[in-house]
């Protein structure tokens, strides 16, 4: 199950965040200090926290709206978080195995939590009539009994009809008992209890203050663990002991110290290997766990032994120091990994991780390590939402993950995926991140044409050569063609390049999800009036990619050449779905059907054209040249006259 969108209202500094989308892997909330980023995470955390926590209306309701709060209905829930989740395909199959195909009208459902009523309120779009039809179809009934059940359209009426059967078969009795086993015999409560609520992922909140202690009195830790009073940092410490396969109680047995020492060494090695897989700052460190006697005159609870101490040994300097005397960045990094391991070891595997300003004390390169940890270790299994105001925690390869958080003077914190809504301070980390990326990978000029990928650049260059050789129009060389590596980055690059007073145009596939955001940029004056150029303008179809500028047979030849070593036989035109306007999608369908490679790489046919341009250019027909001429004429018109 995935969280796909959320909205927070009337919680501390957030009066209405507005609805914002959440990525299926990583979502980054960017905003300046005190913009409301932490508040948003803390509100989301209460949807299903791993540790019990709730709302306090007096403390949490926006102070500015106290008079309004006191006028709200006493017994009515005051919404704070509205979250939309989506069942996975596997989960839908499980539901349909019990309740039948089409049991859910939509795989998405909404959960609301708030003040005054601590319950979760679910809105699940289900088709009760279809469910009743399916349940009825599972019964082997004589004609008279089947007729008696035929008018039931709800599970309540179905149960009544089952109870009224004079001689019900065993299957009918079994179905009636199943329905009675649902809470209050309610279908919707069954969907909530056994599916929606049961499968909702748990939320984990971790911030800079949850670091693991460098030493702890084990007797005191045992007492507070039994009382449920341990901190997240102490849970991380217990995680190390779990990795070692020991419990704090075992340290009270003096006869076991040798075995415990070895187990602690093993645990230190395991967690060291995992930490230093992602910690590139210093590979000469290793973690050591030691047991000590209380120091003379130690204050409670450190006067009770044994004392467990975590130390970090530096092989380069051949010395060790207590864990909590290392840099705050390393302490946080280590503590988080240990805490996360403890959750997974406990079987809490379906998680949504809320990381509040992770890596705040880390060097820029170490923050890159943390991003790698998030992508490689966390995101493949769990959704991650993190907050930041650091440019090094904004991945320039994934600007589509960014949501800006702005604290408005009236209305509180607002969340948006549209970068152009951000003020200068909020956008600064994005600008800095993009600046770093540009210095490494991009070239921009006074007139910048943004393209989705490098294959677009190749096609435009080749078509320019072919068109000009045929006496038609080519692309003006004043355009600096900039492939940005993905459609999701378009609006961000337009906003930030436009802020530098550059002449920016955008060439997009008609299906690009970011087209709407780019159109709004154009309407707001941050893009030239005609600066959004869609391929479908030149193909005469409702949907088109750059590849659709070419005739189908020509592009198919490029694909067969590019994948000649992987194709048992060339792909033929007969295998393509001619009803689909996009040739790339047609090819992708054939790849999936034939199980060719893991995915269709759009760049390979472009590279084949570039390598064999002298041979293939002659095969580009006049219709393709005419479409290219129209495209280049349109783009060149956006340039100032010479």
Could you report the per-residue pLDDT of 34-91, keeping only the tens digit for each?
Answer: 888 999 999 999 999 988 888 999 899 998 888 888 888 888 899 999 999 999 999 9
Could you report the per-residue pLDDT of 386-412, keeping only the tens digit for each?
Answer: 999 888 888 877 888 999 999 887 778
- pLDDT computed for residue 440 by the predictor: 45
pLDDT value at 605 more than 90 = yes
pLDDT higher at 143 or 265: 143
Show the CA angle centred on residue 637, arms to residues 635 and 642, nearest 5°: 120
What is the pTM for the complete model shown?
A: 0.69
Q: Are residues 577 and 586 in contact, defined by beta-carbon separation less than 8 angstroms?
A: yes
Q: Can you tell me whether residue 472 is helix, strand or coil?
A: coil
pLDDT value at 328 more than 70 = yes
Could you report the per-residue pLDDT of 460-506, keeping only the tens digit for each?
Answer: 999 999 999 999 999 999 998 888 766 566 667 766 665 455 678 88
Give CA–CA dist 281/370, Å, rounded.
11
pLDDT higher at 448 or 441: 448
% of the chain residues with pLDDT over 70:
88
**Order of all β-strands in the sheet with 503-508:** 480-483, 447-451, 503-508, 532-534
Mean pLDDT, range 336-350, rounded to an integer: 72
Q: Are residues 634 and 482 in contact, defined by beta-carbon separation less than 8 angstroms?
A: no
Query: For the stretch 542-556, what's the b/e string if a residue is b when 16 or more beta carbons lie within 10 angstroms of its beta carbon?
Result: ebbbbbbbbbeebbb
Give CA–CA dist 371/385, Å, rounded.
12
- pLDDT computed for residue 384 by the predictor: 95
Could you report the per-residue pLDDT of 263-298, keeping only the tens digit for each?
Answer: 777 767 776 777 777 777 777 777 777 888 888 888
Could you report the per-residue pLDDT of 67-77, keeping only the tens digit for each?
Answer: 888 888 888 89
pLDDT higher at 512 or 300: 300
Could you report the per-residue pLDDT of 625-639, keeping only the tens digit for each?
Answer: 999 999 999 999 999
Residue 535: exposed, middle, or buried by beta-carbon count in 10 A (0-12, 13-18, 19+)? Answer: buried
pLDDT value at 258 more than 90 = no
Per-residue pLDDT band for 441 (boundaries 50, 70, 90) equals: very low
Residue 2: exposed, middle, or buried by beta-carbon count in 10 A (0-12, 13-18, 19+)? Answer: middle
- pLDDT computed for residue 349 by the predictor: 66
Calculate the alpha carbon distances from 342 to 24, 244, 274, 348, 534 in Å: 23, 12, 13, 9, 50
| Residue 383: strand pairing partners | 352
Calculate the alpha carbon distances from 487 to 400, 555, 631 in Å: 9, 22, 19
Q: For the chain, what's the residue count?
A: 642
Mean predicted lDDT score pLDDT of the chain: 85
pLDDT higher at 258 or 147: 147
By mean pLDDT, which of 91-100, 250-259, 336-345 is the weakest?
250-259
């Amino acid at each position: 199950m995935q969280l796909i969108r959320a909205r927070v209202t009337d919680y501390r500094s957030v009066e209405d965040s507005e609805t914002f989308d959440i990525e299926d892997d990583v979502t980054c909330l960017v905003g300046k200090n005190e913009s409301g980023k932490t508040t948003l995470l803390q509100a989301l955390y209460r949807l299903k926290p791993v540790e019990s926590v709730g709302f306090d209306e007096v403390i949490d309701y926006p102070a500015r709206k106290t008079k309004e709060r006191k006028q709200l209905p006493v017994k009515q829930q005051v919404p704070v978080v509205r979250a939309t989740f989506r069942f996975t395909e596997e989960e839908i199959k499980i539901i349909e195995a019990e309740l039948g195909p089409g049991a859910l009208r939509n795989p998405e459902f909404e959960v609301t939590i708030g003040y005054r009523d601590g319950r979760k309120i679910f809105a699940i779009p289900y088709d009760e009539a279809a469910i009743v039809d399916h349940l009825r179809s599972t019964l082997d009934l004589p004609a008279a009994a089947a007729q008696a059940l035929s008018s039931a359209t709800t599970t309540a009426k179905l149960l009544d009809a089952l109870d009224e059967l004079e001689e019900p078969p065993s299957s009918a009795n079994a179905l009636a008992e199943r329905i009675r086993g649902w809470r209050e015999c309610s279908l919707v409560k069954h969907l909530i209890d056994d599916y929606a609520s049961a499968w909702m992922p748990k939320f984990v909140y971790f911030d800079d203050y949850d670091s693991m202690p460098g030493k702890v009195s084990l007797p005191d830790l045992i007492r507070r663990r039994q009382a449920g009073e341990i901190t997240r940092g102490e849970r991380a410490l217990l995680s190390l002991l779990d990795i070692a396969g020991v419990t704090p109680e075992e340290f009270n047995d003096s006869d076991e110290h040798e075995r415990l020492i070895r187990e602690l060494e093993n645990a230190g090695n395991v967690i060291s290997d995992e930490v230093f897989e992602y910690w590139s700052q210093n590979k000469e460190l290793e973690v050591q766990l030691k047991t000590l006697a209380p120091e003379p005159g130690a204050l409670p609870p450190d006067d009770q032994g044994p004392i467990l101490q975590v130390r970090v040994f530096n092989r380069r300097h051949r010395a060790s120091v207590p864990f909590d005397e290392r840099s705050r960045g390393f302490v946080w990094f280590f503590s988080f990994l240990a805490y996360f391991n403890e959750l997974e070891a406990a079987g809490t595997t379906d998680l949504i991780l809320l990381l509040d300003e992770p890596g705040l004390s880390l060097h820029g390169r170490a923050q890159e390590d943390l991003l790698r940890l998030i992508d490689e270790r966390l995101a493949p299994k769990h959704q991650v939402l993190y907050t930041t105001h650091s440019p090094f925690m904004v991945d320039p390869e994934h600007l589509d993950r960014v949501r800006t958080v702005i604290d408005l003077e009236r209305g509180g914190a607002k969340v948006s995926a549209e970068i152009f809504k951000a003020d200068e301070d909020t956008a600064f980390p994005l600008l800095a991140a993009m600046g770093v990326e540009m210095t490494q990978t991009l070239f921009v000029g006074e007139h910048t044409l943004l393209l989705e990928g490098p294959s677009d650049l190749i096609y435009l260059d080749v078509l320019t050569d072919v068109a000009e050789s045929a006496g038609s129009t080519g692309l003006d060389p004043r355009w600096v063609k900039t492939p940005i590596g993905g459609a999701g980055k378009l609006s961000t690059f337009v906003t930030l390049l436009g802020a530098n007073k550059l002449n920016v145009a955008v060439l997009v596939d008609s299906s690009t999800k970011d087209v709407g955001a780019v159109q709004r940029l154009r309407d707001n004056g941050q893009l030239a009036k005609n600066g959004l150029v869609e391929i479908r303008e030149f193909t005469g179809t409702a949907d088109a990619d750059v590849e659709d500028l070419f005739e189908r047979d020509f592009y198919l030849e490029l694909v067969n050449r590019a994948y000649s070593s992987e194709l048992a036989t060339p792909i033929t035109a007969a295998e393509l779905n001619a009803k689909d306007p996009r040739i790339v999608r047609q090819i992708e369908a054939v790849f999936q059907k034939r199980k060719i490679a893991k995915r269709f790489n759009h760049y390979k046919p472009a590279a084949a054209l570039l390598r064999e341009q002298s041979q293939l250019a002659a095969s580009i027909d006049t219709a393709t040249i005419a479409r290219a001429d129209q495209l280049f004429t349109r783009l060149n018109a956006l340039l100032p006259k010479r």
